[in-house]
């Protein structure tokens, strides 16, 4: 069965500092991994994905994530946080070997302080 864990309910960083939002996953087949962001009163927006290829993937708004197969992790990173990055971030996984069921984590709220 697929599962996603986001171990931190909330991450606080100062503007200009690097940020990391953690995600670990479990899937029996090939993992398709995603990050989505949800701003207040707005729908979920796609940030980036890992399907195959380079372990470091770059996405929207300067975010990137590193796929680590041995640690079954897909942490979201940004070198320099902005106040406008404050939002709710969701990690998601799909078994790329079959099926289209996508499992989302519970979310991590990111607060960036000016």
Partner 1 sequence: DTGVSQDPRHKITKRGQNVTFRCDPISEHNRLYWYRQTLGQGPEFLTYFQNEAQLEKSRLLSDRFSAERPKGSFSTLEIQRTEQGDSAMYLCASSSSGQGAPRVNEQFFGPGTRLTVL
CB neighbour list of residue 42: distance below 8 Å, 6 or more residues apart: none
Q: How many helices (H) and strands (E) does the chain have?
A: 0, 12
**Of the candidate residues 51, 55, 56, 61, the single one contacting partner 1 (CB under 8 A):** 51
Give 18 or 101: the residue with its C-beta nearer to partner 1: 101
**Of the candidate residues 18, 58, 106, 113, the single one contacting partner 1 (CB under 8 A):** 106
CB neighbour list of residue 26: distance below 8 Å, 6 or more residues apart: 1, 2, 3, 4, 72, 93
Looking up tokens 């989505």, which residue turns up? 36
Give 23 or 81: the residue with its C-beta nearer to partner 1: 23
From residue 67 to residue 96, the character string flagging contacts with partner 1 as x (rule: CB under 8 A) and all else as - is: -----------------------x-x-x--
Looking up tokens 């590193």, which residue turns up? 66
- Using DSSP bridges, classify how beta strands 64-68 and 56-58 pair: parallel, antiparallel or unpaired: antiparallel
Considering the rule CB under 8 A, would residue 101 count as an interface residue with partner 1?
Answer: yes
Considering the rule CB under 8 A, would residue 43 count as an interface residue with partner 1?
Answer: yes
Considering the rule CB under 8 A, would residue 31 count as an interface residue with partner 1?
Answer: no
Residues that bind partner 1 (CB under 8 A): 4, 32, 34, 36, 42-46, 49, 51, 90, 92, 94, 99-107
């Amino acid at each position: 069965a697929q599962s996603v864990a986001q171990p931190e309910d909330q991450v606080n960083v100062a503007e200009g500092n690097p940020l990391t939002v953690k995600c670990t996953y479990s899937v029996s087949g090939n993992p398709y991994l995603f990050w989505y962001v949800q701003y207040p009163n707005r729908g979920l927006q796609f940030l980036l994905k890992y399907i195959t290829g380079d372990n470091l993937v770059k996405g929207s708004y300067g975010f990137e994530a590193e796929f680590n197969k041995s640690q079954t992790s897909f942490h979201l990173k940004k070198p320099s946080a902005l106040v406008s990055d404050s939002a709710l971030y969701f990690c998601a996984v799909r078994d790329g070997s079959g099926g289209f069921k996508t499992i989302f984590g519970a979310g991590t709220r990111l607060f960036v302080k000016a």
